[in-house]
Amino acid sequence: MSGELTNARKKLAGVSSLLKQQKAMPAVQAVYDAVVAMLRGSLMKAEREEFQELLDSAVHILNSDKKLREDYPLIINYTHGEEKVLMSVLRELLKELQEKVSNNAQGLLKAMGARKQTLLTQGQELIEKGDIPEANILFNQLISEFKDDTELRAEVADKFIKAGLYEDALGYLEEALANDPNAIFLYNRIGIVLRKMKDFATAEKYYLKALKLNDKDEYLYFNCGRLYYDWKQWDKMADAATKAIKINPSFSEAEKMLKFANKKIGM
């Protein structure tokens, strides 16, 4: 017996174990693969009869599984010699199970999204009430549920920024950046927060890091120019505005910034 057929026998022997682990799709796939291997192989009469008995047993196990019956209420019929018919039925069953998995995944994502929005709204309400410690507790709970969601951390930070709570916002943004060091928008957002906190030197470092990652973003240069405006660094402000205009010649706000900086310089 070929290696493929030997492997198929092992798969059939594992069908019951897979179903006990509630792995219906791998169990059905194992039977399907075994049928394919049988049809491909050149079996002696005794080998074919043995394989058919193994398929009988596997199909019976599938039909007896309560959970699988809930997902696919039709009985799987198998007659010796009609392996192609069985293969077709199993293929249809796999399709049904895949659709169910896909639907369940979409439902789960929808539920997770709804929970995320609910907790974000509750956190916003706590901020508006001035209950900042409780807001932080709730947001940290939310973030622990969505550990890899960088955008979520930034969204939480935005709520604190709008409330003028820059130190709280900075904490979430730094966590987000640690989670995704190449997210340019986070460097920009941190730069804005640090500018509002009047920590100009540190803000400049973040802008310069962002510009190392992407020196083709006119808005990065413009926001950096806003920093230099607050910092009264007119030469640097003019340089940032000039670079923004070079990227986007129709950037009117950057033109105004450049004129203002040049006026301060005395040009």
Q: What is the pLDDT of residue 133?
A: 93
- Terminal Cα distance for the chain, rounded: 90
For range 208-212, the mean pLDDT: 93
Other Cβ atoms within 10 Å of 167 Cβ, number: 9
For range 80-105, the mean pLDDT: 84
HSE-CB at 154 with a 13 A cutoff on CA atoms is 18
pLDDT in tens, 227-246: 999 999 999 999 999 999 99
| Per-residue pLDDT at 107 exceeds 80 | no
For range 16-44, the mean pLDDT: 85
* Residue position matching structure tokens 């904490």: 171
* Residue position matching structure tokens 């450049």: 258
H-run or E-run covering 90 = helix 83-129
| Per-residue pLDDT at 217 exceeds 70 | yes
In this structure, are residues 228 and 237 in contact, taking their beta carbons and an 8 Å threshold? yes
Contacts of 139 (CB under 8 A, 6+ apart): 119, 123, 156, 172
Of 53, 39, 38, give the one whose Cα is nearest residue 6. 38
pLDDT in tens, 163-193: 999 999 999 999 999 988 888 999 999 999 9
Higher pLDDT, 202 or 104: 202
Q: What is the pLDDT of residue 235?
A: 95
Residue type, 192: I
Higher pLDDT, 96 or 196: 196
Contacts of 179 (CB under 8 A, 6+ apart): 148, 150, 153
| Per-residue pLDDT at 156 exceeds 90 | yes
Between CA 203 and CA 1 the distance in angstroms is 71
For range 58-63, the mean pLDDT: 90
Q: How far is CA 132 from CA 128, 135, 153, 181, 193, in A?
A: 9, 5, 16, 27, 18
